Amino acid sequence: MSLRRTDGAPGAGADRGGTGRAPGRRGHPPLTGPQRFLLGGSFLITLGSFAVLPYMSVLLHQRLGLGLGTVGFVLAVASLIQFAGGAVAGPVTGRIGLRRAMLLALGLRTAGFAAFVPGLTSPVLAVGALLLVSAGAALYLPANKAYLVEGAPEARRPRLLSASGSAFNAGMALGPPAAAPLVMGSPGVLFSCVTVLFALVGAGHALLPAGAADRPADGSSAA
């Protein structure tokens, strides 16, 4: 990674001539290309996901005819997979590497959103697609955050993680209103657009540089 440590002792080098670095810029090196991409990708991923997921109960109940009790159970299982799946995602990420984990996760989510298109007429396929999307989300988040801060100075990591959280939250906030005009009238178009979005983001992840962040852990060090 191209990040350089800039969090030395206070005042170190402040009075040296020829440093070419303004005092106000100390400790705030520019984002690397991969970091910028991951932050932008984080926004797009949640924008696409939350263009769909908040409306799943409506689609499952009104369009596919599932009972409210069944819908609640399905959404509970999907939430459990997504938010508690880190217990499985961590070891998987440690074994296959961060970049590969992100690519696998985005592949699962792309396939899941694509399966929603025929799933609009099949409750079984729609539920399977939702669980696939949830599994991809569980795998993606820890790998994304670990890759984002890999190689960054320790003092800089909170700022990067804060920016990542803001990008995720912005996508979550804007996704539902962006999808509202399509969700009931043309859900097939919506799912197709989200599928294309995830495919493009996944292709961008494939171009991320390999390095320490993408090396699988060796047998004894894998957690």
Q: Is the pLDDT of residue 132 over 60?
A: yes
Q: Where are the domains of the chain?
A: 32-214
pLDDT tens, residue by residue, 166-221: 999 999 999 999 998 888 788 899 999 999 999 999 999 999 987 554 554 444 33
CA distance 168 to 173: 9
Task: List Cα–Cα distances, 184 to 45, 57, 189, in angstroms.
Answer: 21, 12, 10
Predicted local distance difference test score (pLDDT) of residue 4:
43
pLDDT tens, residue by residue, 108-129: 999 999 999 998 889 999 999 9
pLDDT band at 160 (very low <50, low <70, confident <90, very high): very high
In CATH, which superfamily holds the domain spanning 32-214?
Answer: MFS general substrate transporter like domains (1.20.1250.20)
Predicted local distance difference test score (pLDDT) of residue 3:
43
pLDDT band at 153 (very low <50, low <70, confident <90, very high): confident
